[in-house]
């Protein structure tokens, strides 16, 4: 089983949000649909917000907890590469919502796996907080996406 520090996992999650934002930006530049572009532009901003939120959260955590070593299995760190998501210039709002849900579920599964196997209360709390944040953000994103879809 590989080892890593909690701060490395947070850095990886920030990078994941940065890549998700770039993924949505690429789609936004390619689409011809005003509704799809509206949704994608929102998702770009949303991913930037989450990336900054993780950075701010990391600043609020005790250095000792961030530097704690953490043992995890590869299947617990399920931040799947975004390259596996297919996209085209003609994606619909529903297809983008499905893609966004895949991204959200990936992070939720990762944080849940890390929280479930944490060896200390401090580490468990970090990943439980991230899990709660990601679940809440998934619901917010879904409501906004459905609102755009109903336009």
- Residue 58 confidence (pLDDT): 85
Residue boundaries of the structural domains of the chain: 3-149
Structure confidence by residue, pLDDT tens digits, 16-70: 889 889 988 988 998 888 888 999 999 999 999 999 998 988 888 877 777 777 6
Q: Kindly report the CATH class assigned to 3-149.
A: mainly alpha
CA distance 60 to 147: 34
CA 50 to chain centre: 7
**3-state SS, one letter per residue, for 39-106:** HHHHHHHHHHHHHHHHHHHHHHCCHHHHCCEEECCCCCCCCCCHHHCCCCCCCCHHHHHHHHHHHHHH
pTM of the model: 0.80
């Amino acid at each position: 089983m590989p080892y890593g520090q909690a701060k490395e996992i947070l850095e990886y999650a920030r990078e994941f949000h940065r890549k998700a934002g770039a993924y949505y930006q690429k789609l936004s530049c390619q689409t011809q649909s005003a509704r799809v572009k509206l949704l994608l532009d929102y998702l770009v901003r949303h991913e930037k917000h989450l990336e900054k939120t993780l950075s701010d959260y990391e600043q609020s955590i005790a250095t000792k907890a961030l530097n704690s070593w953490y043992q995890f299995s590869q299947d617990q760190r399920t931040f799947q590469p975004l390259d596996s998501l297919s996209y085209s210039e003609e994606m619909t709002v529903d297809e983008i919502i499905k893609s966004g849900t895949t991204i959200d579920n990936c992070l939720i599964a990762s944080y849940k796996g890390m929280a479930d196997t944490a060896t200390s209360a401090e580490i468990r709390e970090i990943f439980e907080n991230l899990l709660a944040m990601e679940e809440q953000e998934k619901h917010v994103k879904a409501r906004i996406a459905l609102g755009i879809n109903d336009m």
